[in-house]
């Protein structure tokens, strides 16, 4: 079976990237990490990619602190296209993506967020949840749209917030679920088992002979 080719964008340590790589190398998912691209030259994520024999590319982000310049964003598109990726997986990528990128890869960008969206979007969601005093938090894999963590939800997992937890205790518990969920979500895409209708994502039952493909990242329509 042809594997789903995933391009990963990461800015930091890349622990979710490693979870995807490990699941791929173990044959647990029909996914190949085709390239890892980072805005940070010494990102641990790039080291993880090189250690696994995966192309690792640093594309400098330009002059802005939180977003990519249009010319730089085009370099990201060209790099991902040169590796013929089917899906883009954001794994701690700390830059805002603009309409050109989102339109080019429409329906083919996924992200993982450390909360039960729509609660606590944005930065440091673990601290947001901990400070708010919720009894449950968790992780969410979702498609990416132009909003901040607002795209259609693919998978979620809840974790308890225990008495005496620190922010770091909660973050560690959520991260375990992130490492489990992200490969699972990519496998659903690889098996062509996801349809999207507006904000609603449906997961189809597995069927024999289903194959991943560029046009099958998310069947249906979004928006």
| 69 — pLDDT class (breaks 50, 70, 90) | confident
Nearest to 181 by CA among 217, 210, 153: 153
State pLDDT tens for residues 92-149.
999 889 889 999 999 999 999 999 999 999 999 999 999 999 999 999 999 999 999 9
**For 70-97, what is each residue's pLDDT tens digit?**
888 999 999 999 999 999 999 999 988 9
The pTM of the full predicted model, rounded to 2 decimals, is: 0.91
Domain ranges of the chain: 1-106, 114-140+154-206
Q: Which two tokens stand for residue 182?
A: 């992200």
Whether 31 shows a pLDDT value over 90: the answer reads yes
Q: What is the pLDDT of residue 2?
A: 87
Active site residues per annotation: 113
Is the per-residue pLDDT at 218 higher than 70? no
Per-residue confidence (pLDDT) for residue 68, from 0 to 100? 78
Q: Domain 114-140+154-206 maps to which CATH number in 3.40.50.170, 1.10.40.60, 3.60.150.10, 1.10.760.10?
A: 3.40.50.170
- Whether the CA torsion 36, 111, 73, 192 is positive or negative: it is positive
Average pLDDT, the chain: 92
> CATH assignment of 1-106, given 3.40.50.170, 3.40.50.970, 3.40.50.2030, 3.40.30.10?
3.40.50.170
Distance in angstroms (rounded) separating the CA atoms of residues 103 and 32: 23
Residue 161 tokens, joined:
């917030």
């Amino acid at each position: 079976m042809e594997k789903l080719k995933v391009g990963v964008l990461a800015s930091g340590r890349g622990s979710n990237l490693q979870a995807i790589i490990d699941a791929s190398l173990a044959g647990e998912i029909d996914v190949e990490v085709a390239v890892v691209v980072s805005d940070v030259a010494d990102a641990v994520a790039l080291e993880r990619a090189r250690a696994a024999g995966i192309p690792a590319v640093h594309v400098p982000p330009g002059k802005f602190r939180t977003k990519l310049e249009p010319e730089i964003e085009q370099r990201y598109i060209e790099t991902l296209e040169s590796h013929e990726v089917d899906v883009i997986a954001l794994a701690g990528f700390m830059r805002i993506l603009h309409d050109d990128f989102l339109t080019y890869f429409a329906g083919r960008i996924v992200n993982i967020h450390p909360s039960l969206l729509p609660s606590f979007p944005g930065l440091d969601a673990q601290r947001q949840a901990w400070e708010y005093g919720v009894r449950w938090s968790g992780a969410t894999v979702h498609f990416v749209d132009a909003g901040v963590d607002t795209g259609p939800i693919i998978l979620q997992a809840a974790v308890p917030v225990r008495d005496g937890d620190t922010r770091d205790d909660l973050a560690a518990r959520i991260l375990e679920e992130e490492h489990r969920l992200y490969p699972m979500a990519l496998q659903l895409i690889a098996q062509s088992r996801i349809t999207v209708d507006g904000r609603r994502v449906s997961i189809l039952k597995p069927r024999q002979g289903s194959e991943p493909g560029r046009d099958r990242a998310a069947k249906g329509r979004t928006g």
